[in-house]
């Protein structure tokens, strides 16, 4: 295949990937068995009684009352929910998944929680480790391959 044909194929594939991203978002509601955060925020009362899975940042925890305040961010903004029967150890700033039933007055009665990040700091840990991963994978790849600008293709590096 000539570089030009490969270039055309490449652009075509990038277009299809873009299409996939559009289709993925457009059909999200059909795949997701739970109401979307945007929809819960826009019309809360309509969703009371439904089962929901919310992912958000813990703002505060009241250990004695077994409740917590959860901020849920979505593409169109953010809203705050009360989590009832919340019995998980997490610091404010941490990220949790909360699964349960939506009740009146923006309350989620939690049946299961998963702590995704214990505190705001664990997010930083994840990013730092991911940067190390990116450096490792690029280093490993370009140790063995280089780009040939004439053929616009990777070729194996000759070992000395």
Partner 1 sequence: MADLLSHVLVAYAAFTVASWQADWLTDEWIAVGTGGAAIPDLIKVEIVVGSGTIETVLGVPFDVSAVGTLGGVLLVAGAIALLFGERRYRAYCLLVAGGCSALVLDGMRKYADGRAGDWLYPVPWNPPSPNLYVSSDSTVLGVVLFVALVVVTLNRRVFGGSE
**Which residue, 10 or 59, is less far from partner 1 as judged by CB?**
10
Query: For residue 25, what are the CA distances in angstroms to 51, 56, 60, 102?
Result: 21, 20, 31, 24
Q: Residues 30 to 89: which contact partner 1 by CB under 8 A?
A: 30-34, 53, 75-76
Query: For residue 156, what are the CA distances in angstroms to 1, 140, 147?
Result: 19, 12, 9
Asked if 94 and 120 touch (Cβ cutoff 8 Å), the reply is yes
Tokens 């809360």 sit on residue: 44
Tokens 């505060």 sit on residue: 60
Contact flag: residue 143 with partner 1 (CB under 8 A) = yes
Among 37, 68, 98, 102, binds partner 1 (CB under 8 A): 98
Tell me, what DSSP letter sits at residue 158? P
Contact flag: residue 146 with partner 1 (CB under 8 A) = no
Which window, 39-47, 56-64, 78-86, 141-149, contacts partner 1 (CB under 8 A)? 141-149
Where does this chain bind partner 1 (CB under 8 A)?
A: 1, 6, 9-10, 13-14, 16-18, 20-26, 28, 30-34, 53, 75-76, 97-99, 112-118, 122-123, 125-126, 129-134, 136-137, 140-141, 143-145, 147, 151-157
């Amino acid at each position: 295949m000539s570089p030009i044909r490969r270039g055309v194929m490449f652009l075509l594939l990038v277009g299809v990937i873009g299409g996939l991203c559009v289709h993925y978002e457009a059909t999200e509601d059909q795949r997701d068995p739970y109401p979307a955060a945007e929809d819960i925020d826009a019309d809360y009362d309509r969703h009371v009684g439904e089962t929901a899975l919310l992912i958000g940042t813990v703002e505060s925890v009241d250990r004695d009352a077994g409740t917590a305040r959860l901020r849920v961010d979505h593409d169109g903004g953010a809203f705050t929910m009360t989590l009832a029967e919340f019995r998980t150890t997490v610091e404010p700033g941490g990220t949790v998944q909360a699964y349960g039933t939506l009740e009146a007055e923006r309350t989620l009665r939690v049946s299961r929680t998963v702590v995704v990040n214990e505190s705001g700091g664990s997010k930083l840990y994840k990013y730092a480790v991911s940067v190390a991963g990116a450096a490792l994978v690029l280093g490993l790849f370009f140790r063995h391959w280089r780009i040939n600008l004439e053929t616009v293709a990777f070729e194996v590096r000759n070992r000395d």
